Every structure is written in structure tokens, then in C-alpha cells.
Amino acid sequence: MRSLLSVEISLLPPKLGAVLHTMRKANVGGPGLIADRRDLTWVLTEFQASLMPTAESAQDKLHNFEGEIGKDIADLIGQGRAIADLCRRFHGRIPWGGDYPEIILDQAAKDMFVAIRRAVKEMLKASLNVTPFFVEPTNSYRQIFDELQKFSEEND
């Protein structure tokens, strides 16, 4: 089962990093939020499907992993589901009408956006702790994942 999950788990940090990179382009200064329509659509689309479908389908076998790794994977699954739920709720607060390139959101929607971004950061941190169990770190791997670690620790 380890080999079955290795690709999915090793790709999770870069996926989450890409989402965070896109989310940080939004202007959250001031009383509301201004975001690019395409960026917002892409971020929400990323969480419409599971980020970890293989792990979810093998949930009943996660306890077979040594140590805490099975629990850590289950935690990642839970984090992904919670973020997906937040995204569904956030989607309903977005005024999609018109064809302007930017969307302006009120304070409540901005707060929800920031909460989603924080949750993605936490999931990124957790995924970076699990990934070394599945992939042999190389120099390029370490460099990329060190950059993602710094990214996950940036202040909002």
C-alpha cells in the first residue's frame, strides 16, 4: 500500500503550494478582498474533488502503517475534507455575476478566504511532515520542500 500512496502523497505539498501561491495574489488589505476571477475559480476547483482519492479509498487500511503515519494520513484526509467544505460555503458568498476580471468581496467573505488560506497552510505543513515517509529525499526534493515549508510559515 505504501507504493500505491507514494505518488499521491509526494505530489500533495506542491499542489497545496500552488494553491497558496495563487491565494496570496489576492488583495486582502482593507475592509474587503479583491481577487482575480480566474484565480478564485481555480482555487475553488482544486477542492471540488479529493486531493487524496487513493488514501481515502484505503482509509480502512491506514492503521497498518508503522508508527503514527496512518493517523497522519487520516488527518490529511480530514483536513482536505474540511477545506473542501469551507470552499463550498465560500463559493456561495461570491458575487459571480458580471464578467469583470476581478471580484470584490465583503469583510465576511474576506474572513472566510483568510480562514481557507490558513487551513491550506496547515495542511501543507502536515503534508510536508508525512511526505518523507513515502519518498527518498534528494537534493532537489529537499530544496523544493524547504521552500514550501517557508511558504507555509509566512504570515497572513
pLDDT of 140 = 59
C-alpha cell at 133: 515517509
Rounded alpha-carbon distances, angstroms, from residue 102 to 81, 88, 94, 105, 142: 27, 20, 11, 10, 36
User: What's the pTM?
Assistant: 0.88
pLDDT at 139 over 60: no
pLDDT of 78 = 96
Q: For 16-39, what is each residue's pLDDT tens digit? A: 999 999 999 888 887 888 899 999
H and E: helices and strands count for the chain: 6, 2
Decide which of 108 and 155 is more confident. 108
Angle between helices 107-130 and 139-152 (to 10 degrees): 150
